[in-house]
Amino acid sequence: MIEKNTRAYRRITLSLALGSFIVFCNLYLFQPMLPFMATHFSVSETTVNWVFAATTMALSISLVPWAVASESIGRRCTMFLGLLSIPIIGLAMAFTTSLVGLIILRAFMGFALAAFASVAVAYMVEELSSKAFNYAIGGYIAANSLGGIAGRIVGGTLTDAFGWQNAVLVMTLFSLCGALAVFFSLPNQQNFTPQKGLLRYHNRALIKHIRNRKIWLAMLIGGINFALFVNLYSVMGFRLVSAPHNMPMTLASLIFLCYLAGTLSSKLTANWLRRFHSISGMIFGSLLSLMGMLIANIETISFMIAGLLLISFGAFFTHTLAYSWVSKNATYAKATATALYLVHYYIGGSLGGFFLIYCWQHGGWGKVTAGGSLLFALIFLLCFWLNQFDSKNTRQNKKSSDMLAPNSNLEPK
């Protein structure tokens, strides 16, 4: 297994970070454009949300098939198929003029993005030592947040200045260059051999992962956490471009710089795990996000920014811990387990958008806060259940170990 601070470790972490950056740039490119798109196509906020939701939904349902395919064709090949498809789809989007056509192509984009997202963490788990993985996963999630920031700011600023098609063309060119860089730098796997004919095995693995409440509850936590996080930002975009703030889209898109707080917090999870438990960290992160949502109620820009910083810090802290929890506690079919986590994650993001944007349309930020509070309460309940099952499993494992251990009273003095 590859250890931290080796040349191979740096090649893997930098390559996967770049690939992750490309994926999340493209995933979130259209999020700051939603207010503009609603006006451009003369549709409601919930209707235009399909431009974003189509990508996350397609990504979520494609993750497991890609993970299963990677068992036969290899993790590296799977990631490259996805990365090289991104600029092709991006080029088609740049010449689309209808909303329906754009939504369909965004769904195809989600399918392509899923190829990389479904197996990157499994690649790390299989190639890196446990200690190296604890540091690498933080860097990988940090690259997610940086990609999200860059994609949103590029989308918002270039759309305002040159139009949305040109924003897509710029992202397409960057994605092509980045995909080629990953292709030439990511090493072949040494600790994984592709095997064919494993479809039935992975179907059984999916069912077992869902029945394993120790990891399924963490998947639900990740999904609800993402539903809150990404869509509180979407609603904030609509809030800032509306009265009384009436911000231009370029300025409103800068709120995504608050993601940098999440970049920091995802790197701090390794330090947390050296002293504390993952579940307590998920609770801590969710409490910070809840506090941020409440602070953002105050109708001044400074308090909104402070709220978004707390939301970002807490959400990425929770996500990194939940994601790594699933990776480490899945004792088999790890790619399938991590893909299934991301299925919950992105389905949560898709459905959460319609829920929170509906709250915004029918009651402003106050109703968004009320709806968000219900989701936070559900996260805390799931953390409580997860802790109960984890403690129960720990006691059972300890009891089994004690029964298997030799009886010291029978040993000769």
Bridge partners (DSSP) listed for residue 128: 2
Residue 283 pLDDT: 97
Bridge partners (DSSP) listed for residue 2: 128
Residue 408 within a domain = no
Residue 413 within a domain = no
Q: 356 with 235: CB under 8 angstroms?
A: yes
Instruction: Return the closest-CA partner of residue 121 out of 16, 243, 276, 4.
Output: 16
Residue 412 pLDDT: 36
Residue 357 within a domain = yes
Q: How many CA atoms lie within 13 A of 277 on its CB side?
A: 8
Sign, CA dihedral 138-140-145-149, equals positive
Q: From CA 7, how far away is CA 10, in angstroms rounded?
A: 5
Residue 405 within a domain = no
Residue-wise pLDDT tens digits, 311-321: 999 999 999 99
Residue 411 within a domain = no
φ and ψ at residue 338, rounded to 5 degrees: -70, -35
- Token representation of residue 299: 């109708």
Range of the structural domain that residue 209 is part of? 7-188+198-392
User: If the chain, 413 residues long, is cut into consecutive pieces of 10 residues, what is the mean pLDDT of each piece?
Assistant: 90 95 95 91 91 93 86 90 96 94 97 93 88 86 87 92 93 97 91 70 77 90 95 93 89 90 86 91 97 95 96 94 88 78 90 92 93 97 93 69 50 37
Instruction: Return the closest-CA partner of residue 226 out of 286, 150, 308.
Output: 286
Longest CA–CA span in the chain (Å) reads: 87
How many other C-beta atoms lie within 10 A of the C-beta of residue 184?
Answer: 7
φ and ψ at residue 2, rounded to 5 degrees: -85, 130
Residue 290 within a domain = yes
Residue 1 within a domain = no
Q: From CA 38, how far away is CA 34, in angstroms rounded?
A: 6
CATH code: domain of residue 231 = 1.20.1250.20
Show Cβ contacts of residue 30 under 8 Å, excluding neighbours closer than 6 positions. 37, 51, 52, 55, 106, 155, 164
Instruction: Return the closest-CA partner of residue 32 out of 224, 359, 368, 258.
Output: 258
Count: domains in the chain: 1
φ and ψ at residue 128, rounded to 5 degrees: -105, 150
Residue 408 pLDDT: 42
3-state SS record for the chain: CECCCCHHHHHHHHHHHHHHHHHHHHHHCCHHHHHHHHHHCCCCHHHHCHHHHHHHHHHHHHHHHHHHHHHHHCHHHHHHHHHHHHHHHHHHHHCCCCHHHHHHHHHHHHHHHHHHHHHHHHHHHHHECHHHHHHHHHHHHHHHHHHHHHHHHHHHHHHHHHCHHHHHHHHHHHHHHHHHHHHHHCCCCCCCCCCCCCHHHHHHHHHHHHHCHHHHHHHHHHHHHHHHHHHHHHHHHHHHHCCCCCCCHHHHHHHHHHHHHHHHHHHHHHHHHHHCCHHHHHHHHHHHHHHHHHHCCCCCHHHHHHHHHHHHHHHHHHHHHHHHHHHHHCCCCHHHHHHHHHHHHHHHHHHHHHHHHHHHHCCHHHHHHHHHHHHHHHHHHHHHHHHHHHHHHHHHHHHHHHHHCCCHHHCCC
Residue-wise pLDDT tens digits, 197-216: 666 666 777 788 888 888 99
Q: From CA 232, how far away is CA 225, in angstroms rounded?
A: 11
Residue 399 pLDDT: 64
Residue 138 within a domain = yes
- Token representation of residue 175: 């994605």
